[in-house]
Amino acid sequence: MRVIAGSAKGLRLAPVPDGTRPLADRAREGLFSSLGEAVRGARVLDLFAGTGAVGIEALSRGADRAVFVDPSSAAVRTVRENLRRTGLADRGTVVRRDALRFVLDGPGRFDVVFLDPPYATSANVLDPVLGGLADRGVAVGGSLVVLTRSSRSYTPVIPLHWLADRRLSYGDAAVLVFRTAPAG
């Protein structure tokens, strides 16, 4: 795995921890091409961070700050190593915590939220996280929410005020992009 574009373009990332399925380079490249300038200057949240490749790609492409959240100690170590390798550690914060607990703690508003949960994540785990993003003001007022799922898995319940922006497909990965309704 490598960083696709931006200030850290071409840098190799640390080996993927066991049990982690990162978004493939090709899918990240397509996703960020479709997002264009939306990440420049953004405050980014990378839930189910795994290697941190998605949030690091956002930082490399000009995001202002990124918070990486994962419950796995191996994933947290990998994200920290990848931030160090790319020279982006001063703009990233790594939190070892369950995604739902993090969201329910009310961490503030983010401009772009990436969720790349394990494909086996059930509805009773993922749906409350998505609801919490809306209810706790984490993704509101024009935020982008990017959710990666297996093209063969269920479609989660999407909060009422989120608008489907686009759906991208890469092999067995479906990348769903939502825009939250503008404030007011």
Three-state SS at 49: coil
9 part of a folded domain: no
128 part of a folded domain: yes
The CATH number linked to 172 is: 3.40.50.150
According to DSSP, the residues that pair with 148 across neighbouring strands are 175
Instruction: Give dist(CA 63, CA 48) in Å, integer.
Output: 18
Q: pTM, whole model, 2 decimals?
A: 0.94
119 part of a folded domain: yes
- Is residue 1 within 8 Å of residue 53, measured between CB atoms? yes
32 part of a folded domain: yes
Into how many domains does the chain fold? 1
pLDDT in tens, 43-78: 999 999 999 999 999 999 999 999 999 999 999 999
15 part of a folded domain: no
> Which residues constitute the domain of residue 121?
25-180
13 part of a folded domain: no
Instruction: Give dist(CA 119, CA 101) in Å, integer.
Output: 20
The number of beta carbons lying within 10 Å of the beta carbon of residue 111 is 21
User: Minimal CA–CA distance to 61: which of 90, 100, 32, 89?
Assistant: 32
Going by pLDDT thresholds of 50, 70 and 90, the confidence category of residue 183 is low
